[in-house]
């Protein structure tokens, strides 16, 4: 018996005129939605891709939902970057405050390549306070704006000697009085040299928290307050490291690597960057892309995770 298809519904008729079983032909399926891995760092290959809802289709978010999503993003990033750390080389609070001032308008890498010579010649606030400005300018030239930075680091060194006995103070209200030290620099020092929680609102942090719709604020102090309200104070310092690490490695300003991002399902801005997983992988930087990091002397945990130290100034 030979079956004949008579309609789009798939009704079949046998050669003797008797109708065979009715077969329904499925309509062509719609194009699949974009997918990205929902994985955490260690399980990315094991979990299936998750559908990412376009930001335009997202419903208004309640305050409770925002807090939950923000904290989940931080937990995910903590697993992706368990070795997150301040990316300026330092051995004491004085070196950290100077390095942070020097990091304005340049990369941490360039600062790290420059400060070894500076601290070798001027290891203490007393030494730098008495330095010849022209000699300091020559050392700081690679960091850019070296004249202004020279005035700042010599000025803050004098302030440390004259007002704080040569010691870096551990209070926000004292730190911000030092030349060249604002709230961002102060929180870097407090969080990483004194273990006191603080949020570091640099350009990466500002960009990402706005992309994630944690806040619509544009002024650093207002961003700091809005984001700080979403998290326990004890998490502020590591939160800053997680966000900044992610901004430098994946969520870039011009072309974020959306297709390689572990928090894409939680991101309202998914799709602003490259969504193809293979193409996105090529955008990854530092250890995520197999390249050296920014510190010449990074923490051992970073090295254990596969990170490579940066080369000294003039190498390669």
How many angstroms separate the CA atoms of 115 and 240, rounded?
23
Q: Is 184 a catalytic residue?
A: yes
How many angstroms separate the CA atoms of 214 and 283, rounded?
25
Give the number of other Cβ atoms within 10 Å of residue 110's Cβ.
Answer: 17
**Please, which residues have CB within 8 angstroms of residue 11's CB and are 6 or more apart in sequence?**
5, 19, 22, 23
Q: Is 18 a catalytic residue?
A: no
In the set 89, 108, 149, 184, the catalytic residue is 184
* Side-chain half-sphere exposure of 225, counting CA atoms within 13 A: 5
| SS3 (DSSP) at 37 | strand
Joined tokens for residue 100: 């942070």
| SS3 (DSSP) at 35 | strand
For residue 168, give the nearest of 190, 199, 183 by alpha carbon. Answer: 190
* Side-chain half-sphere exposure of 246, counting CA atoms within 13 A: 32
Residue 59, Cα to own-chain centre: how many angstroms? 26
In the set 108, 149, 202, 288, the catalytic residue is 202
How many angstroms separate the CA atoms of 237 and 168, rounded?
19
The catalytic residues are: 184, 202
């Amino acid at each position: 018996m030979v079956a004949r298809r008579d309609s789009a519904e798939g009704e079949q008729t046998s050669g003797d005129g008797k109708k065979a079983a009715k077969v329904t032909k499925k309509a062509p399926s719609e194009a699949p939605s974009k997918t990205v891995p929902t994985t955490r760092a260690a399980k990315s290959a094991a979990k299936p891709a998750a559908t990412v809802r376009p930001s335009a289709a997202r419903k208004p978010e309640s305050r409770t939902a925002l807090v939950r999503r923000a904290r989940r993003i931080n937990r995910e990033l903590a697993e992706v970057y368990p070795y997150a750390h301040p990316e300026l080389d330092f051995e004491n609070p004085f070196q950290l405050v100077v390095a942070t001032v020097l990091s304005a308008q340049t990369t941490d890498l360039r600062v790290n390549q420059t400060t070894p010579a500076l601290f070798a010649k001027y290891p203490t606030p007393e030494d730098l306070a008495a330095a010849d400005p022209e000699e300091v300018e020559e050392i700081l030239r690679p960091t850019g704006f070296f004249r202004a930075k020279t005035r700042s680091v010599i000025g803050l060194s004098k302030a440390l000697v004259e007002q704080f006995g040569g010691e870096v103070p551990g209070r926000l209200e004292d730190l911000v009085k030092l030349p060249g030290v604002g709230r961002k620099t102060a929180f870097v020092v407090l969080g990483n040299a004194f273990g006191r929680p603080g949020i570091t609102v640099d350009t990466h942090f500002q960009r990402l928290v706005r992309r994630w719709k944690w806040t619509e604020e544009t002024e650093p102090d207002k961003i700091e307050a809005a984001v700080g309200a979403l998290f326990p104070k004890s998490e502020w310092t590591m939160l800053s490291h997680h966000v900044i690490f992610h901004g430098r490695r994946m969520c870039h300003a011009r072309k974020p690597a959306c297709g390689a991002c572990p928090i894409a399902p939680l991101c309202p801005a998914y799709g602003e960057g490259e969504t193809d997983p293979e193409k996105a992988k090529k955008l990854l930087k530092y250890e995520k892309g197999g390249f050296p990091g920014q510190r010449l002397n990074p923490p051992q945990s970073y090295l254990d995770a596969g990170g490579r130290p940066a080369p000294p100034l003039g190498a390669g």
